[in-house]
Amino acid sequence: MADQAASRWELSAATVPGYLRARGVLRPGEPCSACDLSGGVSSAVVRAEGPFGRWVLKQALPRLRVAADWRADPARSETEARALRLAGEVLGAEVVPAVRLLDREAHVVAMDAAPPQMQNLKALLLRGVVPREALARAGALLGRLQAATRDDPAAAAAFADLTAFRQLRLDAYHGEVARRHPHLATLVARQAEALTARRVCLVHGDWSPKNLLVGFGDRVLALDFEVAHHGARAFDPAFFLNHLLLKAVHLPGQAARLADGAAAFWDAYVSTSGWGDPEALETEVVGQLGVLLLARVDGKSPVEYLTEPERDRVRALGQRVLRAGLGDLGAVWESVLG
C-alpha cells in the first residue's frame, strides 16, 4: 500500500496541485502554483502556493540522486516531521518552519516556505560572502538544541532509530572512507563507533550551510531534519565546521574570514550548549572532522565545487587530522591557512 501510494504520487511541480487536491488541501477549482526546488539529492522538493499559503513539500526518495548506488528508507520523512516539531518548540517558529502535512504512505512532509528574502548560506559562502553574525547564530542555535534535549528520555525514545543515520551518514561517509582508504580503516571505525556509543542529545544530522537560510541581521532558518536522531554531540558541529574548511580550501582569498566565522560559530555553540568539558568536546569534533573531510571527496556524496587539486589538498588534510590525532581546531585551521 505504501509503495503504491508513493509511486502514484511522485512529487513535482506538475503533480503537486493534483496531490494537494487528493489530500483535501485544495478544493476543486482553487488555484495552485508550484515550482521544483533544486539543491538536494535525497528528496523531491517542491514549493507550492495557493489558498493554503506557501508550502514546501518534500518527498523522501528511496534512491538518492547521486552517481553511486545509494539507497535509504523513505520512512525518514516521519522522523523529519517529528524533529521539525521538536526543534520548533525549542528554537521557535522564527527558526524552524511549521509542519503542515505528513503523508506516511507517500513519504511526504509539507512545511511553511521560507520568506522569499532569505538567502541560502552555502550560496553566500561560495560567492565569498562570510556573514559572521549568521555563523555565530548558527552555532548558538545548535547549542540551544543540544542543551534542550541533553539526556532527555522523551527525545531519546522518539529518535532512537538510527536507520537513516546509518544509511545516509555512517555507511556513506565513514564506511565509504574506510573502503576507499583501508590503511585508515581502524581509525575511521573508531570515529564511527564514537557516534553511537554515547548518545546524549538530538542530532540534526545535516547541520550545514546548504540547510540554513539567513535573513536580516543574524536571523537563521534551519531546514532538512530527515537524518535527525538521538546521538553524539560532536557530529553536528563537526559537520558544519567541515563545510567551512572545504570552502576555505576552495576560496583561499576568503580563508581568513572563514576561519574567523568558524571561531564565531564555535564560541557561540560552546557557550549555549553548556557542555562542561569543552576541551574533550573539541577533541571529539576534530576526530570526526578527519573522517568528514575525506568523506566529502571520497564518500558517496562528494562536494561538487572542488577542483581536483583542491580535492587532493582536502584528502591530505583529512588523513593528517586522522593520523596525527589533532585535538585542537586551531591546528586544523592553521593547516589550511598556512
CATH number 3.30.200.20 given to 2-112: yes
Cell of 163: 536507520
> What is the pTM assigned to this prediction?
0.94
Question: Is pLDDT at 71 greater than 90 in this prediction?
Answer: no
Query: What pLDDT does 67 receive?
Result: 66
Three-state SS at 112: strand
DSSP label of 115: P
Q: Residue 201 pLDDT more than 50? A: yes
Torsion sign over Cα 47, 48, 52, 54: positive
Q: Take residue 41 and report the three cell numbers written for it.
A: 539529492
Burial of 203 (0-12, 13-18, 19+ CB in 10 A): buried
Looking at residue 73, its pLDDT comes to 85
pLDDT category, 6, cuts 50, 70, 90? very low
Phi and psi of 60, rounded to 5°?
A: -65, 130
Q: In angstroms, what is the C-alpha Rg of the chain?
A: 20
All cell numbers assigned to 320: 593528517
Q: What does the pLDDT average to over 211-232?
A: 94
Place of cell 560532536: 234
Return the amino acid letter for 39.
Answer: G
Task: Let me know if the fold of 2-112 is the same as that of 119-337.
Answer: no
Q: Is the pLDDT of residue 4 over 50?
A: no
Q: How far apart are CA 243 and CA 115, in angstroms?
A: 25
Say how many C-beta atoms besides its own lie within 10 A of residue 100's C-beta: 17
pLDDT band at 309 (very low <50, low <70, confident <90, very high): very high
Q: How far apart are CA 101 and CA 203, in angstroms?
A: 23
Q: What angle do helix axes 235-250 and 308-324 make, rounded to 10 degrees?
A: 140
Amino acid present at 143: G
pLDDT for res 39: 62
DSSP assigned state of 275? -
C-alpha distances in Å from residue 303, one per residue of 38, 41, 55, 89, 234? 15, 12, 28, 32, 21
- Residue ranges per domain, the chain? 2-112, 119-337
Reported as type and span, the H/E element at residue 292 is helix 278-298
Q: Which residues are bridge partners to 99 per DSSP?
A: 111
Which of 210-219, 251-260, 264-273 shows the lowest per-residue confidence on average (mean pLDDT)?
210-219
Instruction: Region of 28 please: left (phi>0), alpha (psi -120 to 50) or beta.
Output: beta
The burial of 15, by beta-carbon neighbours within 10 Å (0-12 exposed, 13-18 middle, 19 or more buried), is given as middle
The dotted CATH code for 119-337 is 3.90.1200.10
Chain position carrying cell 565513514: 174
Percent share of the chain, pLDDT over 70: 96
